[in-house]
Structure 1
Amino acid sequence: MGFYCDNCGKKVNRNSNTCPECGVKFKAVKCPSCGYTDQADFFKGGCPQCGFLGEEESTGIDHKAKHVKTRKPFLDFISSKVFWIMSLILSLILFYIFYLISQDV
């Protein structure tokens, strides 16, 4: 995860004390999301003000690759309340059918 140099705008690793592009030394880190400025040590877990973690470091994986749509299971389309209500109704119907069958015998 990294931040950007205020001087040249290039991406800088979180642990760097100087910009690899222009060589400027950093005395403080400025959050690109909310503008909060403080010592770099305070940003190790992200911005203490807004929680911004920066962008992910390059892992060699192309995140812009075409995403393949996957089918969701049928039950994902039904809310849990509807599922339980329908299950209860079906159980009552089956119970009633078995009750009627047992009365005929």
Structure 2
Amino acid sequence: MGKVEKGHSPKFFCENCGQEVKRNTKVCPHCGRFFSSVRCPSCNYMGHTDEFINGCPSCGFAVSSDSNKNTKKYHRNKLKEYRAKYKSNRYDDPLPWWIYSLVIGSLALLIIYIFYFKT
């Protein structure tokens, strides 16, 4: 995988689900993920889609149509690496159990205080 040959354009893939998407897509049609920028899977350079017309402006990486067979496998492996690396920073992770205990305990103490001292 390397530079784009003349007559070929780089391919773009959703970082969340790994599916191929059109160049100027703002939301993945497969998983609904919003795209704010493009990230090169080779060097992690991030920028606007216009910068990636001929491949990555930093390292020159691009996926040509000739390498379509290896593309999905490559991007799925990169996706697994990315998810494993940043999994702890996901916003949909559940809160730790002690947070729930603290909130429930605080509410119980508040209710006891209200009924005991207000009557």
Asked which structure has the greater RCO (Cα within 8 Å, sep 6+), the reply is 2
More helix by share: 2
The alignment's TM-score, normalised by the length of structure 2, stands at 0.42
